[in-house]
Structures are given as structure tokens and as C-alpha cells.
């Protein structure tokens, strides 16, 4: 008789797993009571609450305000200054030609007022700096658009990663249940002496691995939900799922070169680098303008009053004219500044070319990937059918003695791996398609809304995250500061 060892029955081994699943089962039963959020709703939440996007918008406002700062140097400048003073004066000096000297002591009050106004008539430096500020606004506008598109793709990726994790979790749960039943059958057959203990051990090892896979999948689902929370600052207990019959079609337009052309015309990353070249070119103009004269019109008025014993009364004067200042020698600073800005322009041109090449490569790769994803989804779906048939045949062979339990367990593993791989392929297709649109500069809310139409309200994914009040407070950054008018 084969030696035996105590083996925990599958029903007992499954109890901790069932207890661990209880909160999630309760949450699933409550899914009908919770209004599931869809991708479009969550995207709008992110556009309102995403911290990175809010920072980019504030940065854009700051750059736009910089244009007004530079414009102010070209507008009239008016200054006023005044002074009121009490003066104490004592004199004891005398001339060598005088017979004697009489010390004098005087105490008096004085007041003065000065008004100055100037207007630049020709100032190449300030004019070039204003032009540079305009180019910086163009660059920042494209960078803001790039940030918005990045938020859109991040939200979509996080959303579909949740659905991916959920489908994989469902596959791992089904796998654990199936192998658990296989373990129970093996234990029963061993108890009556029909099989060897090694087959029970094989089934136990497979069950333990399936349980570990299920636990890992549960962790992935929680992490995916929390990643979505970071992007929007909100928690979602339930989200809509992706229809099984969603359209899986090649990208349109159907030519890779057409997508590259779209990217060169619309990609905010490419356009931002191109605008950066113009910013650097205007910086060269600022440096060269340091050599040019500055012409300005000016006017000033001065008024003084004093009650000095020796000189009393008022004094006033006014002046109007045009002033010119010409830099003759600055110690080589101007020439060095021109060289510095010229090298910076060269660097920005190389950065622009690098961004163009990177975008072209990304678009080409994503187009190929999306095109392949179409075939991959179909192949993965067929793999499920094939592995299910193989499992049924293996089980039948096991019942008649032509296959062993290891063959059955391997077939079970292959089936549920195929189900998980099919889920991966479907969500890879959706995310790669949206990423292709992002790289080509055509990702917007309308594109998100189109994908949102592939979701279904009849099914939802629900998960209850742990309550963490302090974390909720961290997400609330409060009202932004308001600049004074």
C-alpha cells in the first residue's frame, strides 16, 4: 500500500480564501445600488481636478502675465519723490582775510518734490524681450495641450487597467475553484486507494499556486483603483465594464504615413519644441539688441521750499527733452551673451529634431502594434476555444486512464491563462489605439467619448477601498491664491 500523509481537504483549505472573498462578494452584491461611473465622467473629473494639469494651467497664466511685464517697459514711466526735513546748521569757520569771525547757528525746515516722466522712443532690448514673451506663450500653450492629452491617456489607461485586472481576477478565481474541485476529487480517490499520493500532491501544488495567483490579482485590482484616484482626486466604488462585442478594427486612416503626417501637424510635443526654437531665436535678438542705442523722451518738474533765515522762499524748475544712451564697451559681456544665446538656439534646434524623430518612431510603432492587436485579439479568443476543447479531451482521457492528473492540471492552467491573455489583448488594443491618437496629437474628449460608447451599464466592476480620512484631506489642496488686481 502506498504511504500516506495528512493532506488538508480542499474544502478546509478553501475556507480562508472564501472568507477573504466575502467582502468583495458583498461589494459585488451592492453593485446594483451604486451608480457606476463611466470613462467620460471620470475623464471630466480629471480635467477639473488633476494636480499636474492644474499646475500647467497656472504656469500658462504666469507666462501670459510675463508678456504684460515686458510690455510695461515700453509704456510711459512716471515716478514721484518727495522729502520733508528739519535741518540744523552751525558754522564757526572764518577767512584769514577777515578781522574776526562770528559763529552762526541756524535751524530750519525744508521740503522738496520731484516728478519725472519718460517714454521709450526706441528700445530694441525691451522690444525683443516682448517678442520673446510672445513666443514663450506659444510654447507654453502647446505644453499645456500636451499635458491635457497626457491626462486623457493616463485616465484611460488607469480605467482600462482596472477592467483588465478585474477580468484577470475573475479568471484566477475560476481557476482556483476548478483546481480546488480537482484537488477534492484527487483526495477522495486517494482515500479509497485509487491513485497515489503523488497525484494529490500535484493537485495540492497547483491549487496553492492558483490561490497565490488569485491573491496577486486582487492586489492588482486594488492598486489599479488607487491609481485612478490619484489622477482625479476622487474615489470610485464602481465603474462600467467593456462590452464583449466591442469593435476591434484597424486604425483609420489605414496608412502609417498618414498618421505620421497627422503627428507632424498636430502633436503638441512637436509643436512645443518648434516654438522653443522661436523662443531661443528671440533670445538671440535680445542679446544683439544690447549693442543698440536707447532713445527716450523725458520730462521732470522739481519744487523746493525752505524757511532758512538767510534764504527763504520757494524754488521750482521744469525740464523736457530727449535722451540717448549708447553702449560703447561692456567688457565683452554683450558679445559673450550673443554667443551664449546662439548656442542655446542650436541646442533647441537639435531638441526639436530629436522630438520629431521620437514622435515619428512612436507613431510608426503604435500603428504597427494596433494593427497587430486586431489579429492578436482574434487569435486569443480562438485560443480560449481551443484550450477549452483540449481541457475537455484531457479530462475524458483522465477518466479512462490515458491521461494523468498532471495533464489535467496543465490543461486547466492553459485555459485560464488563455482567458487572461485574451483580456490583456483586448485592453492592449484599446490603450494602444488611444496612445496612437495621443502621439499623433488627435486625442481629445471626443475620442474618449467614442471609446466610452464601448462600455456597458449592465455590468460594472466594484471594489471597496479602505477608509482613509487623512488621505482624503491631503487630496483637498484648498482654494488657489488670487492675485491682486
Per-residue pLDDT of 115-131, as tens digits, reads: 999 999 999 999 999 99
H-type alpha helices, 10-93? 10-29, 39-49, 51-72
What does the pLDDT read at residue 192?
A: 87
Q: Does residue 28 sit within a domain?
A: yes
Residue 472 has pLDDT above 70, yes or no: no
CA-CA distance, 89 to 310, in Å (whole number)? 12
- Report residue 478's pLDDT band, with 50, 70 and 90 as the boundaries: low
The C-alpha R_g of the chain, in whole angstroms, comes to 39
pTM of the model: 0.82
Poorest-confidence range of 172-186, 242-256, 307-321? 307-321
* 96 in any annotated domain: no
Average pLDDT value over all residues in the chain: 86
Residue 298 pLDDT exceeds 60 = yes
25-to-19, 65, 176, 387, 463 alpha-carbon distances in Å: 10, 54, 16, 28, 10
- Whether 112 is in a domain gets the answer no
Domain annotation covers residue 267: yes
Q: Is the pLDDT of residue 33 over 50?
A: no
Query: By the 8 A CB rule, do 179 and 148 touch?
Result: no
Cα–Cα distance measured from residue 386 to residue 208, given in angstroms and rounded to the nearest whole number? 26
In this structure, what CATH number is given to the domain that contains residue 394?
A: 1.20.1600.10
In whole angstroms, give the CA distance from residue 139 to residue 268.
9
Q: Using 50, 70 and 90 to split pLDDT, how confident is the model at 368?
A: very high
Largest Cα separation within the chain, whole Å, is: 146
d(Cα 442, Cα 438) in Å, to the nearest integer? 6
From the list 151, 136, 438, the residue with the least C-alpha distance to 269 is 438
Torsion from C-alpha of 268, 271, 272, 276, nearest 10 degrees = 180
Helix (H) or strand (E) holding 174: helix 124-191
The verdict on whether omega for the bond into residue 253 sits within 30 degrees of 0, i.e. cis, is yes
Residue with the bigger pLDDT between 151 and 14: it is 151
Given a contact cutoff of 8 angstroms between Cβ atoms, the answer to whether 167 and 244 are in contact is no
Taking 80 as the threshold, does the pLDDT of residue 177 lie above it? yes
- Residue 296: inside a domain, yes or no? no
451, 457, 461, 465 alpha-carbon torsion, rounded to 10°:
100
Residue 29 lies in a domain: yes
H helix runs in 310-404, sequence order:
333-400
Distance CA 110, CA 85 (A): 5
Query: Is residue 273 in some structural domain?
Result: yes
Does residue 358 have a pLDDT over 60? yes
Asked if residue 106 is part of any domain, the answer here is no
Average confidence (pLDDT) over 239-257: 93
At residue 91 the predicted structure's pLDDT band, cuts being 50, 70 and 90, is confident
pLDDT tens by residue, 396-447: 998 888 888 888 889 989 999 999 999 999 999 999 999 999 999 999 999 9
Q: How far apart are the first and last CA of the chain?
A: 94
- Domains: count for the chain: 1
Of 372, 351, 353, 364, nearest to 439 by C-alpha is 364
Please choose, from the candidates 305, 301, 292, the residue with its C-alpha nearest in 3D space to the C-alpha of residue 321: 301
Nearest alpha carbon to residue 163 among 260, 278, 39: 39
Give the residue with greater pLDDT, 470 vs 275: 275
What confidence category does residue 100 fall into, taking pLDDT thresholds of 50, 70 and 90? Answer: low
- 170 touches 416 (CB < 8 A): no
Predicted local confidence at residue 235, as pLDDT: 86
C-alpha cell at 445: 474628449
Each residue of 64-79: pLDDT tens digit? 999 999 999 999 999 9
Which domain, by its residues, includes 33?
A: 10-76+124-291+332-475
Residue 317 predicted with pLDDT over 80: yes
pLDDT for the residue 366: 97
pLDDT higher than threshold 50 for residue 458: yes
Residue 241 has pLDDT above 90, yes or no: yes
DSSP state letter for 118: E
Amino acid at each position: 500500500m502506498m504511504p500516506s500523509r495528512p493532506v488538508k481537504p480542499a474544502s478546509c483549505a478553501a475556507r480562508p480564501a472564501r472568507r477573504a472573498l466575502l467582502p468583495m462578494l458583498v461589494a459585488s452584491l451592492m453593485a446594483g445600488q451604486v451608480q457606476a461611473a463611466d470613462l467620460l465622467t471620470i475623464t471630466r473629473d480629471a480635467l477639473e481636478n488633476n494636480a499636474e494639469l492644474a499646475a500647467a494651467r497656472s504656469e500658462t497664466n504666469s507666462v501670459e502675465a510675463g508678456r504684460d511685464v515686458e510690455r510695461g517697459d515700453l509704456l510711459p514711466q512716471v515716478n514721484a519723490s518727495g522729502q520733508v526735513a528739519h535741518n540744523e546748521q552751525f558754522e564757526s569757520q572764518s577767512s584769514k582775510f577777515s578781522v574776526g569771525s562770528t559763529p552762526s547757528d541756524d535751524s530750519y525746515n525744508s521740503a522738496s518734490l520731484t516728478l519725472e516722466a519718460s517714454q521709450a522712443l526706441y528700445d530694441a532690448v525691451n522690444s525683443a524681450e516682448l517678442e520673446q514673451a510672445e513666443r514663450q506663450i506659444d510654447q507654453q500653450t502647446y505644453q499645456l495641450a500636451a499635458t491635457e492629452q497626457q491626462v486623457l491617456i493616463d485616465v484611460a489607461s488607469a480605467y482600462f487597467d482596472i477592467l483588465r485586472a478585474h477580468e484577470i481576477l475573475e479568471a484566477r478565481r475560476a481557476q482556483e475553484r476548478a483546481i480546488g474541485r480537482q484537488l477534492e476529487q484527487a483526495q477522495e480517490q486517494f482515500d479509497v486507494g485509487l491513485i497515489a499520493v503523488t497525484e494529490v500532491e500535484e493537485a495540492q501544488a497547483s491549487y496553492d499556486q492558483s490561490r497565490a495567483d488569485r491573491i496577486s490579482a486582487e492586489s492588482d485590482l486594488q492598486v489599479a483603483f488607487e491609481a485612478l484616484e490619484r489622477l482625479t482626486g476622487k474615489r470610485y466604488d464602481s465603474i462600467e465594464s467593456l462590452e464583449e462585442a466591442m469593435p476591434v478594427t484597424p486604425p483609420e486612416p489605414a496608412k502609417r504615413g498618414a498618421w505620421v503626417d497627422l503627428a507632424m501637424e498636430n502633436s503638441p510635443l512637436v509643436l512645443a519644441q518648434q516654438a522653443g526654437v522661436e523662443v531661443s531665436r528671440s533670445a538671440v535678438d535680445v542679446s544683439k539688441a544690447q549693442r543698440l542705442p536707447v532713445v527716450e523722451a523725458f520730462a521732470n518738474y522739481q519744487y523746493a521750499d525752505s524757511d532758512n533765515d538767510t534764504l527763504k522762499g520757494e524754488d521750482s524748475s521744469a525740464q523736457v527733452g530727449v535722451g540717448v544712451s549708447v553702449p560703447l564697451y561692456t567688457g565683452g559681456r554683450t558679445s559673450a551673451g550673443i554667443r551664449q544665446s546662439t548656442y542655446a538656439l542650436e541646442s533647441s534646434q537639435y531638441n526639436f529634431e530629436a522630438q520629431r524623430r521620437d514622435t515619428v518612431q512612436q507613431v510608426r510603432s503604435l500603428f504597427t502594434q494596433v494593427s497587430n492587436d486586431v489579429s492578436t485579439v482574434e487569435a486569443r479568443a480562438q485560443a480560449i476555444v481551443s484550450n477549452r476543447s483540449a481541457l475537455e479531451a484531457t479530462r475524458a482521457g483522465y477518466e479512462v486512464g490515458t491521461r494523468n492528473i498532471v495533464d489535467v492540471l496543465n490543461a486547466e492552467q492553459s485555459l485560464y491563462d488563455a482567458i487572461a491573455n485574451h483580456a490583456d489583448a483586448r485592453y492592449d488594443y484599446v490603450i494602444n489605439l488611444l496612445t496612437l491618437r495621443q502621439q499623433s496629437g488627435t486625442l481629445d474628449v471626443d475620442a474618449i467619448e467614442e471609446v466610452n460608447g464601448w462600455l456597458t451599464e449592465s455590468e460594472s466592476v466594484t471594489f471597496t477601498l479602505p477608509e482613509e480620512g487623512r488621505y482624503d484631506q491631503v487630496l483637498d489642496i484648498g482654494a488657489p491664491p488670487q492675485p491682486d488686481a
